[in-house]
Amino acid sequence: MITGGAGFIGSHVVRLFVNKYPEYLVVNLDALTYAGNLENLRDIESAPNYVFEKADITDQKTISQLFEKYEFDAVIHLAAESHVDRSIIDPLAFVKTNVLGTASLLNVSLGFWKKNMNDKLFYHVSTDEVYGSLGEKGFFTETTAYDPRSPYSASKASSDHFVMAYYHTYGLPVVLSNCSNNYGSHHFPEKLIPLLINNIKKNKPLPIYGKGENIRDWLWVNDHARAIDTIFHTGKKGEKYNIGGFNEWKNIDLVHLLCRIMDKKLGRKEGDSAKLITFVKDRAGHDMRYAIDASKLNKELGWKPSLQFEEGLEKTVDWYLANEEWIDHVTSGNYQHYYDQQYEKR
Ligand code: NAD
Ligand code: TYD
């Protein structure tokens, strides 16, 4: 079972597993919130080893029925509320899905697996944001103390703690990974990169929080999916692995790079798109810098990113320009309401 498979990262993980492992039956369990979109999986939806089940991870009864039906031997758990700005507007929705939902899944998994834990695995997908915010120097390692500062990262940190608690207390076989910011195709345009691509294309202002000095480490989503595949198959039970792109960017530098790529792709004069940059009120509690040390994953399991950032960004821009229908669908309806609420008063 892969939870959250209709979302951004989940859809890449589902696609990779369905295509690479025809001998696995992949059950994609997703509640199809605003962020879940079955269009993300159109290319594999009729594969014989793929099934979709619409369900909410907080609904233990339905999840139990699905465990009965499919006898899952592994769970890769990605379903979550995932956007920091939304967590500032509605923190309890994050507690419900990320904390209660994860604890419910752990509980049902334990109930079904406790007689025989051999060859079972609960893989929890988490974020580097649980570690808090860095100054100019240093990196997050697997032993960095948790110090979450947004409702989103607090809810993810809590879910991580429950995963480790089920390992230590009940012996549930678990593995956990904490990844940096992803970018790539099928990314919902509330997050920085797809929002900028969409706005540049439409000649709309590019809202940059504060002075644009915050730093993120960016990883191509397909490389995250490859890392999940590696950890799922070769990671040590009870261990956690950091995943990162070795690729730190200040937001303002990133937006300029993206504007240059978009000018070229759209046949605009160099500098035209950058005129859309608009500095807006900063995010409350905005973490300054994330930087991840992914050397454990590299040394122990041999994973490393496959793509340079500029190449990955170009591929991403190409995908958005070639998939206007996708962006039109996801930005119709509630998206506009969220956008107005988030940016109108800034
Ligand atoms: P996303 O918001 O694009 O997708 C989340 C998916 O979960 C959606 O399909 C949604 O319908 C589903 N979902 C939400 N609530 C649910 C519920 N109660 N029951 C069942 N399904 C539900 O998120 P994403 O960016 O793909 O992130 C996936 C996971 O990876 C999350 O756990 C996130 O914390 C983690 N992560 C994300 C990033 C990133 O840069 N996006 C980085 C590191 C880790
Ligand atoms: P985001 O994509 O929301 O990821 P996260 O906050 O989880 O790292 O934001 C990435 C960075 O971009 C972060 O420093 C906040 C900033 N940002 C903006 O400046 N403007 C925006 O409109 C958004 C959505 C983010």
Give the range of the structural domain holding residue 114, as residue numbers without chain letter. Answer: 2-188+217-248+286-308
C-beta neighbour count of 213 within 10 angstroms: 15
Pocket of ligand 1 (CB under 6 A): 3-4, 6-10, 30-33, 35-36, 56-58, 78-82, 97, 101, 125, 127, 156, 179, 181-182, 188
DSSP 36-70: --GGGGGGGTT-TTEEEEE--TT-HHHHHHHHHHH
Three-class DSSP category at 289:
strand
Q: pTM of the entire structure?
A: 0.98
113 within domain boundaries: yes
110 within domain boundaries: yes
Give tens-digit pLDDT for 90-124: 999 999 999 999 999 999 999 999 999 999 999 99
125 within domain boundaries: yes
236 within domain boundaries: yes
Judge whether 90 counts as a catalytic residue.
Answer: no
Number of domains in the chain: 1
38 within domain boundaries: yes
212: left (phi over 0), alpha (psi -120 to 50) or beta: left
CATH code for position 177: 3.40.50.720
Judge whether 128 counts as a catalytic residue.
Answer: yes
Q: Which residue has the tokens 């899905």?
A: 97
Can you list the residues of the chain whose pLDDT is less than 50? Answer: none
What pLDDT, on a 0 to 100 scale, did the predictor assign at position 346?
78
Give tens-digit pLDDT for 231-288: 999 999 999 999 999 999 999 999 999 999 999 999 999 999 999 999 999 999 999 9
Taking the CA of 284 as reference, the closest ligand is 2
Name the residue of 3, 9, 41 whose CB sits within 8 Å of the most ligand 1 atoms, as the mutation to test its pocket: 9
Q: Which residue has the tokens 């990883």?
A: 219
